[in-house]
Structure 1
Amino acid sequence: MSEAGVIHDIGYQRYTGPRLGRRAALTALYVHGLRSAFGLGRSAKAKIFPWMVVGILLLVAVILAAVRSQLGEVIFTYVQFDDQMSWLIIFFVAILAPQLMSRDFRSGTLPLYFSRPLRAADYVLAKFAAMVTAVWLLLGVPQLIMFLGAAFTTKTGARGVWNEFLDLVPGWGYSLLWALLFSGIGLLIASLTGKQAFAAGGIVAVFLLTTPVVGVLSVLPSTTANHLAGLVSPMTVIAGVGAWLSDSNPEMEFNVGQFGPIYAIEAVCLIAVCLLLLLARYRKVASL
């Protein structure tokens, strides 16, 4: 005896609204990544570390602005501020990159993303843009505070403010270079594993374990080796670009000599290679 089937109407309706497409998906993914960088929309525990980093950087900027306004002494230039705060940025990237990339592997949401019009290139672009924006804001906003402190206490009026602004713009460009390279390397490493702890450890290792090698090469008898020593570590590659562009960087442990353009070329190549490898990685994932 066969039982008759019954169709139940449980209220499902077809979607009749607008189809927003790839651009809306990319924008939503970017905004979500940027909010995640600062723990917005997440638990209080997730907000502790990013806002602690924000607080430290802002505090340092306020102190530098206060010292300059009261004593007229420039402790750090805008470029030197980035170099001095780079250690905090390393750990910020080591925490953020696995959240943006490794979590999607672990939770299995990538097939869901790529089942829609979103492409692998869109996914990589949104994640990369979100991380670059977050890192740039971490450095750029404190630099703005330093600028405001100098601008409101200048003794040469509008001319002094303009000259200070001309110093700020290269500082912002230098911050963007830090953000681009750190984000590219961090996201690439994080994309290789679904375990956030492993990804964070790998990111820190790449940045910190290559730095002592620079110190060893910088004391070799060869002058050329001393000048090229910074090419070994991503941190000193960027510092080398800063030294070349500013023609002076007393904080560096080595001198780039006449090889400044080589540092700039390597920085650009590293960023491009990281993006290409990320794209290749997620195209492979999307095709599975």
Structure 2
Amino acid sequence: MAAADPRAGTIYDLGYRGYEGPRRGRPAAILALYTFTLRAAFGIGRRPTAKIVPFLVTTFAFIPALIQLGVAALIGNRVEIIAPWNYLGFSQVSVALFCAGVAPETFGRDLRYRTLALYFSRSLYRTDYALAKSAAFISALSLLTLGPLLVLVIGNGLASEDVLGYIADHWRELPQSLAAGLLIAAVAGLGSLAIAAHTPRRSYATVAVASWFLVTFPLAGILVDIGGQVGRFAAWFSPFSLLYGAALAIFARQPGADSIQGAADLPIASYLALAAVHAAVAVALILRRFQRVPA
């Protein structure tokens, strides 16, 4: 019997089969990434402790609207403690905490565990990845910025003694609330993601995002007060003062004399324009980051 050639190989049939199911392509991949990120923003599908911060902060964001509805139910709409155009002043801490707690994980986990290569090896482009994740985070943040405004407007109408009269007088507040809530979510969300995307370290990203909200606001107030004609432009660069001014512009309201916007004495429409600029710059920074990040 001839000896076996030591160079010969052996083929084993292990039963592997190729994928024969439907291939939905790029749109389905983008939608799946969007849905996964939106669920992850609230800790759905993750350990129970991951749900505490997003759900607790979201609950706090609705409390001022519920208080106003309780007052309206008891004594009617004669007393308006909280109006749609100044709601951000009551929920800004919730927005900042949500962004600081959730934005670092939106991109950070993939950067930290180097899983981007798995995404980009398929039909997803780098731009698809960045935009799908950003859209999901903005959608999650909209629950905090848009949801309470809709509850406030619709609830006040239902609590009114004359519902039809209330609708006739306040119907504009519904589309204005939609616009203001989405604008706040887009600018705050994109700015937070642009900061968080540049470091895989969760702690660094959390501190950086929180500082963007909570440090720039008092700093802008100081510069507006003592900075003269140049310092007043600081009101454009604090996200809270910028977004509050943009909300006032959407609702066609003027700022109070004791507010940062009133002290800065800048055209109220300029806050809306600068909010759009902030969002565009943030998108550019996010896209640039993921065009250059190694995968």
Superposed, 1:96-111 pairs within 5 Å as 96-111=102-117
Query: Structure 2: how far apart are the matches of 1:74 and 1:259?
Result: 26
State how far apart, in whole Å, the 2-side matches of 1:92 and 1:221 are. Answer: 31
| 1:20 aligned residue | 24
Instruction: Report if the CA contact (8 A) 2:146-2:180 is conserved.
Output: no
Q: Counterparts of 1:1-288 in structure 2 under 5 Å?
A: 2=6, 4-71=8-75, 72=77, 73-220=79-226, 222=228, 224-225=229-230, 227-245=232-250, 246-250=252-256, 252-255=259-262, 256-285=264-293
Per-residue deviation, 1:258: 4.7
Cα distance in 2 for residues equivalent to 1:191 and 1:15: 34
- AA paired with 1:97? A
Letter in 2 for 1:8: Y
Measure, in 1, the Cα distance between the counterparts of 2:169 and 2:114: 52
State the secondary structure of the residue aligned to 1:101: helix
Number of aligned positions between the proteins: 286
Letter in 1 for 2:287: L
Q: Provide structure 1 residue ranges, at least 5 long, that are not aligned to the other structure.
A: none
Equivalent position amino acid for 1:284 in 2: R
Task: Report which stretch shifted further, 100-109 or 244-253.
Answer: 244-253
Go from structure 1 to structure 2 and tell me whether the alpha carbon gap of 1:62 and 1:284 turns closer, same or farther (over 3 Å shift): same
Question: CA 1:259–1:226 in structure 2 vs 1: closer, same or farther (change >3 Å)?
Answer: farther
Instruction: Report the TM-score when normalising by structure 2.
Output: 0.89
CA distance in 1, matches of 2:232, 2:168: 34
Q: What is the CA–CA distance in structure 2 between the aligned matches of 1:141 and 1:162, rounded to whole Å?
A: 22
Percentage identity across aligned positions?
31
Worse overlay, 115-124 or 6-15: 6-15
User: Structure 1 CA distance, aligned partners of 2:14 and 2:46?
Assistant: 33
2-structure distance, mates of 1:231, 1:276: 19
Residue identity matched to 2:226:
L
User: 1:202: how far off?
Assistant: 0.8
| Separation (CA, whole Å) in 2 of partners of 1:89 and 1:275 | 19
Q: C-alpha distance in 1, partners of 2:147/2:224?
A: 33
| Segment drifting more, 156-165 vs 269-278 | 156-165
Asked if the contact 2:255–2:261 (Cα under 8 Å) also holds between the matched residues in 1, the reply is no
- Cα distance, 1:148 vs structure 2: 3.0
* Distance in structure 1 (CA, Å) of the matches to 2:279 and 2:221: 24
* 8 Å contact from structure 1 (residues 226, 254) kept in 2: no
Deviations 1:154-203 (A, max 9, x none): 22232313433421321221111111111111111111111111111111
- When Rg is computed on C-alpha atoms for both structures, the one with the higher figure is 2
Distance apart, 1:221 and its partner CA: 7.4
Q: Which amino acid aligns with 2:192?
A: G
Contact 1:132/1:180, CA 8 A, preserved across alignment: yes
**Cα distance, 1:50 vs structure 2:** 0.7
> TM-score scaled to structure 1, two decimals?
0.91
Write out per-residue CA displacement over residues 85-123 of structure 1, whole angstroms, 9 at most, x where no aligned residue: 011111101111111111100111101111111011111
